[in-house]
Structure 1
Amino acid sequence: MEKPTRLALLKEIAEFLNEETETYDMMQGALKFLIDGSDFTTGWIFFIDNEGNHGLVSDTNLPGALVKNNCQYMQEGTCWCVQAYSNEKLTKASNIINCSRINLATKAHYQETDGITHHATVPLRSGREQFGLLNVATPYTKSYSEEDLELLESVAFQIGSAIKRIWLTDQEKEAARINERNRLARDLHDSVNQMLFSVKLTAHAAKAMSKEEMSKNAFNTIETTSQQAVNEMRALIWQLKPIGLEHGLINALSSYSEMMKLNLNVQVDGLINVPSLIEENVYRILQEAINNVKKHAHTDEIYLKLSQQQNYLNIEFEDNGSGFNINHNTEHVSHGLNNMRQRVKMINGKINIQSSYEQGTKINLIIPIKVD
């Protein structure tokens, strides 16, 4: 099949990116367009945080040597590309003369490299904001032409712009969701919850006035059922709007833990002062963590430490429960962890989860206070 011209390829990628609304699907699709429509045969994308830690977030057609052990050579350690990116010395599409990742993989599995010995790389950026690196390679190629590097630069610019657009859209959607949840919580509290409480009080009064045993039993059933409905309504309102968050994050988390019959041990270093959108998302992240403790950890003790240093909020959440295998957890646990990771990503934070059987679970969050 004949490959499109470079202009046609850029047009195809641009049209694809304009329709995408999910970051990782967008990057995987754009990378595949690039590899299928050019002379490059393999590619991968690193996300890199402010501390220089990288993560492999997308790849296509990686040779067997680089795929070994769950992409071990791509995931572990550092390399010149990541270091130069973090030091702001890698600012444009460049040939990489010596790639330590490819060298290590080749040394261990030289028969499975598919001829990949060198690669080219380019930062993903939108304006002054950078997200990571786009890397491509072709068999038996040590140096890529200026035309190849120009193509790489153009695609990287498109992907970087799409990442920023999606992240901004997600933040706007989350703000709208928070406002709508707050409105629903107010409506439920002011109407349905009050009506259920009135039914409970009426049934209680009627039971006290009734002289027939059958009537007393009926009113008692109504009162009990109404109380259960009130409890469930309160729990629903908690999910929609954190009661107590207006008095601070610690107050809301303590109240929620108490409702879940868990003992939250809190240590706060310094003054915690964060914008409401971040506070709401941090609450939801920790609420999910508390739910996981209640459902899976078989312990009622939780330890939480918060500290704010300059423009970062540091959070340590720990339980001494049963723990789990972070790589082989159940569907329910995975869903909860994915929800947490998605919220962390939405506020440009970083999350690290450590857990093992009978050793409890530790969650560390680093959240930038100012979100662009």
Structure 2
Amino acid sequence: MQKPTRLALLKDIAEFLNEETETYSMLQGALESLIKGSDFTTGWIFFIDEAGEHEVVSDVSLPGALTKQNSKYMCEGSCWCVQAYQNKKLTKASNIINCSRINLANQAYHEETDGVTHHATVPLKSGDEQYGLLNVAAPHTTHYSEENLELLESVAFQIGSAIKRILLTDQEKEAARISERNRLARDLHDSVNQMLFSVKLTAHAALGMTQEDVSKKAFHVIEETSQQAVSEMRALIWQLKPVGLEHGLVQAVNKYSALLNLEINVQVEGLIDLPNIIEENIYRIIQEAMNNTKKHSHTSTILLKLNQQQHRLLVDIEDEGTGFKEDQVDLQSHGLNNMKQRVKVIHGKITIDTAPDQGTHIHLDIPLK
């Protein structure tokens, strides 16, 4: 099958990127198009955080040697291109003469290299913001032509712009969601919650006025049911709008734990002073963790550690409940997936360490810019 011209390939990739709204599917689709429409036969994309830690977020047709042991050679350790990227010495598409990842994989699994020994790399960026690296390779190729490097740079520019667009769109959507939740919380508080409270007061007053046993029982049931409904409505309003967050994250967490009848031990290092979007999402994540403890862990005690450093926030949420199998983390609740999504929005990392009868430990590492 004839390869498309360079201009046609760039046009196809640009049209695809313009339609994508999710980062990871966008990266995978763009990489697949590049490999299919060029002389490259394999490729992979690293996201790299401010600490220089990398994550493989997309790959196409990796040689078997690089996929062994759960892609060990791709995930572990460092390499020249990641270090050069971190030191801002990698500014354009370049040939990598000696790749430690490929070398180690090829030494261990020489028969499964697909002839790949060298790769080309290019940073993914938009303006002054960097996101990671796009790497590509082809069999029995130790040096990639200027034409191929120019193609790589063009695709990387398109991908970097698409990443920036999606991030900005996600931030706008999150701001809109927060605004809508706040509006709905106000409406519920001002209307439904007040009506339920009025029903409760009316039932209480009627209970004191009637002498009939049947009526007393009926008004008593109405009063208790109304009180339960008021309590549930308050919990729902807290879910929608963290009343009290304006007084700080710690106070909001303490109030919500009291609402759930949970005992929370909060330990703080540093001054907790966070940007609004980070504070909102961190609170929601802690809130979700408390909900999961209440529902699933069979314990009423939580340890929360907050450690704000100069450039990052570390959060640890621990309980000594029943825990669960790590390979069933995503099956535990819709809430855990929400937590992971919120961590992505604020560009952080989440680690969930749990086992049956060993409790649950959630660790968050959030960069602060």
| C-alpha distance in 1 between matches for 2:315 and 2:119 | 38
Separation in structure 2 between the aligned mates of residue 339 and residue 50 of structure 1, nearest angstrom:
24
1:281 aligns with 2:281: yes
**Cα distance, 1:171 vs. partner?**
0.7
Separation of aligned partners in 1, 2:73 and 2:321: 33
* C-alpha distance in 1 between matches for 2:187 and 2:176: 17
Please state whether the residue corresponding to 1:46 is helix, strand or coil. strand
Give the Cα separation in 2 of the matches to 1:119 and 1:243. Answer: 53
Superposed counterparts of 1:1-372, under 5 Å: 1-333=1-333, 335-370=334-369
Q: Distance in 1 between matches of 2:117 and 2:103?
A: 8
Give the drift of 1:191. Answer: 0.7
Change (3 A) 1:126 1:344: same
Tell whether the 8 Å contact from 2:123 to 2:130 is kept in structure 1 after alignment. Answer: yes
* Deviation at residue 330 of structure 1 after TM alignment: 4.8
TM-align CA RMSD: 1.7
Report the secondary structure of 1:250's partner residue: helix
Q: What amino acid is aligned across from residue 310 of structure 1 in structure 2?
A: Q
1:86-115 Cα shifts (integer Å, max 9, x gaps): 111211111111222122222222222222
Counterpart-to-counterpart distance in 2, 1:124 and 1:351 = 23
**CA 13–323 in structure 1, closer or farther in 2 if over 3 Å, else same:** same
Which one is further off, 336-345 or 43-52? 336-345
In the alignment, the residues of structure 1 paired with residue 332 and residue 355 of structure 2 have an alpha-carbon distance, to the nearest angstrom, of 17
Paired AA for residue 8 in structure 1: A
- Structure 1 357/91 Cα, relative in aligned 2: closer, same or farther at 3 Å? farther
Three-state SS of the structure 2 residue aligned to 1:144 is: coil
* Structure 1 unpaired stretches of 5+: none
Range with bigger deviation, 53-62 or 66-75: 66-75
Please state whether the residue corresponding to 2:170 is helix, strand or coil. Answer: helix
Give the CA deviation at 1:193.
0.3
Change (3 A) 1:296 1:106: farther
- Structure 2 distance, partners of 1:116, 1:33, is 20
TM-score (normalizing by structure 1): 0.94
2:98 partner SS = coil
